């Protein structure tokens, strides 16, 4: 699932908010970076929101920014904000949503909605533990890194020692 944040039309704020912003909302031809700044806070959110990995900032029923959420912050009045990386069209979730209508299909006036994105389901976290997202088991080259980390930690950096252990372990398992 992705978090959908539907921002209002552009308006200036009477005084800067907790993110130091003097304006919020969407306007024609805004950049992704501007949409990100307008959409990354400050919202009242259920616990479900902070489990999401992607946020789509929607303004005027169009996706204006696609963000990989990296960190949540507590803001005054039980509100929250996040920071993350604004994605570009090299990312499948961006490619599938940017510039298109709100994928939540929700007619509610609540600015917060959720959408199940097929492109997102393909994403998992790299199995090496680095936290990077990948469409495979590992991010590029991280399978090598995962193996070599183990060789370094448990076999004093000796690939030969690892292979000897591996072969002995397999042999014992197959004999069992």
CA atoms within 13 A on the CB side of 33: 0
Nearer to Zn ion, 5 or 128 (CB): 128
Q: What is the closest distance, in whole angstroms, from the C-beta atom of residue 138 to Zn ion in the complex?
A: 6
**Residues 75, 41: contact at Cβ < 8 Å?**
yes
- In angstroms, what CA-CA distances link 27 with 8, 109, 141? 9, 19, 41
| DSSP run (H or E) holding 80 | strand 79-86
Reading the block at residue 65, the tokens are 């920014």
Nearer to Zn ion, 112 or 127 (CB): 127
Nearer to Zn ion, 64 or 142 (CB): 142
In the complex, the residues that contact Zn ion under the rule CB under 5 A are 126, 128, 130, 139, 142
Q: What is the closest distance, in whole angstroms, from the C-beta atom of residue 143 to Zn ion in the complex?
A: 8
Nearer to Zn ion, 149 or 159 (CB): 149
Q: What is the closest distance, in whole angstroms, from the C-beta atom of residue 144 to Zn ion in the complex?
A: 10
Q: What is the closest distance, in whole angstroms, from the C-beta atom of residue 123 to Zn ion in the complex?
A: 13
């Amino acid at each position: 699932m992705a978090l959908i944040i539907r921002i209002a039309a552009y308006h200036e704020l009477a005084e800067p908010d907790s993110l130091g912003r003097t304006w919020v909302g969407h306007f024609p031809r805004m950049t992704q970076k501007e949409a990100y700044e307008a959409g990354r806070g400050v919202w009242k959110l259920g616990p479900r929101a902070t489990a999401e990995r992607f946020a789509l900032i929607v303004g005027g029923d169009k996706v204006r920014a696609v963000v990989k959420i990296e960190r949540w912050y507590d803001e005054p009045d039980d509100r929250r904000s996040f920071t993350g990386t604004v994605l570009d069209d090299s990312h499948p979730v961006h490619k599938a949503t940017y510039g298109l209508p709100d994928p939540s299909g929700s007619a509610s006036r609540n600015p917060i909605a959720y959408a199940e994105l097929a492109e997102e389901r393909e994403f998992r976290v790299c199995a090496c533990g680095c936290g990077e997202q990948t469409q495979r088991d590992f991010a590029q080259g991280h399978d090598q890194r995962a193996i070599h980390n183990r060789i370094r930690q448990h076999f004093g950096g000796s690939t030969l020692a690892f292979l000897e252990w591996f072969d002995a372990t397999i042999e014992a398992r197959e004999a069992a």
